[in-house]
Amino acid sequence: MIQNTMVQPLDGLKVIDVSSFLAGPFCSTQLAEFGADVIKIEMPKIGDALRRFGSITPEGDSLPWLSECRNKKSATLDLRTPEGAELLKALVKDADVLVENFQPGTLEKWGLGWDVMKEVNPRLIMVRISGYGQTGPYSPRPGFGRIGNAFGGLSYLAGYPDRPPVTPGSATIPDYLAGLYGALGVLLCIQALQKTGKGQYIDIGLYEPIFRILDEIAPSYHMRGYVRERMGPGTVNVVPHSHYPTKDDKWIAIACTSDKIFERLAQAMGRPEVAGEGKWGKVKDRCDDREAVDTFVSDWTSQHTRDELISICEEFQVPCGPVYSIDEIFEDPQYKARDNIVYMKDSHGREHAVPNVVPRLSETPGGIKSLGPSLGEHNDEVFRNRLGLSPERIEELKQKGVI
């Protein structure tokens, strides 16, 4: 178990997470990894859908659940019932943050929208993640990560120009990015709260973080009407900046983002005459002759193994790296040196490998205390210790299906 016993940045921060699947839960996980006390609210008997998504352990837990809902307490509560809604309000009254990712209008339908919650707790920070955000003509539509990739503009760019758009690595990229932006929003709101004394809500559509990271795609279209198309592994505006084959049937990534770096690559290749004052010495020259430049580099990389190429590029200070599969990641010394993979046991004693905490803080680092909890594992702690309900009342609520 990797557990940080030092002071953590978010010690004392109380978070209630009523979200499901990935975007909202990942947001609260970021907070939990740095000390926040997170209670994950789930439907009685059913739980979060993430529990049943992905590879399932023999004990019935999904790997995404164990990894992405770590450091949390699980309590069951049916928010659709009047009693469940009142219990959530009681929890929120003493909380700092509420995280949700229902379709807009769902919490309002249950009498748990922002207008209600800010009255319950004027200092509350509420994270609201949905497919298209809380406003606009598309706000009522359901959304998942794949839709965020597509609507945000990333899917259109993924793949080759003569083939259909493909999944850009993972359909869940928008969920993770939205979760990260949600956690960032919480930290910003904490700072604002100290200045104003007022809480506020954070509104994120899944597509918005995707659109935000597409570098110059928006200003380029506005300035010159340029619609970027799919380029395979290539990169707009620079070349060579792609993935290239190696002699041992692997791939290497090489990134020449300037004329100076290309000059160093040309020297490494033993062809310095093509750089500098040569035919490909300027970015524009290379971009105008993109296919020939990439072929030129591919012919060279195909004559060497991947390890040889990395050694040569390092000698000439050319940015490069292996295009890794997950089995290679597990064996890489850099990953091992930085403990990027952590081995943790779940509540059944089964060991799992999960990504370590990011970012890495020198004085108040985050940590992993536990993997995703069992459904309702902390009901007594939450309802008895935090809300002061009697054992009899808790049993009554269980019989009603409220918890």
CB 9 within 8 A of CB 34: yes
**Burial (Cβ within 10 Å: 0-12, 13-18, ≥19) of residue 119:** exposed
Quote the Cα angle for 358-232-270, to 5°: 90
CB 192 within 8 A of CB 125: no
Q: Residue 183 to residues 61, 119, 129, 364, 391: CA-CA distances in angstroms?
A: 25, 23, 11, 17, 35
Which pairs from 193-202 meet CB under 8 Å and 24+ separation? 193/123, 193/125, 197/123, 198/122, 198/123, 199/118, 199/121, 199/122, 199/123, 199/124, 199/125, 199/126, 200/125, 200/126, 201/114, 201/125, 201/126, 201/127, 201/128, 202/125, 202/126, 202/127, 202/128
Distance CA 72, CA 334 (A): 29
Residue 259 designated active-site:
no
Rounded to 10 degrees, the C-alpha dihedral 67/73/74/76 comes to -160
Closest CA to 16 of 386, 399, 398: 386
Distance CA 311, CA 160 (A): 30
Give the single-character DSSP code of 235.
Answer: B
Distance of CA 301 to the CA centre of its chain: 33
Q: Residue 296 to residues 293, 300, 347: CA-CA distances in angstroms?
A: 5, 7, 54
CB atoms near residue 332 (< 10 Å): 13
Catalytic residue among 37, 48, 175, 346: 175
Distance CA 356, CA 329 (A): 13
Distance of CA 390 to the CA centre of its chain: 39
Residues belonging to the active site: 175
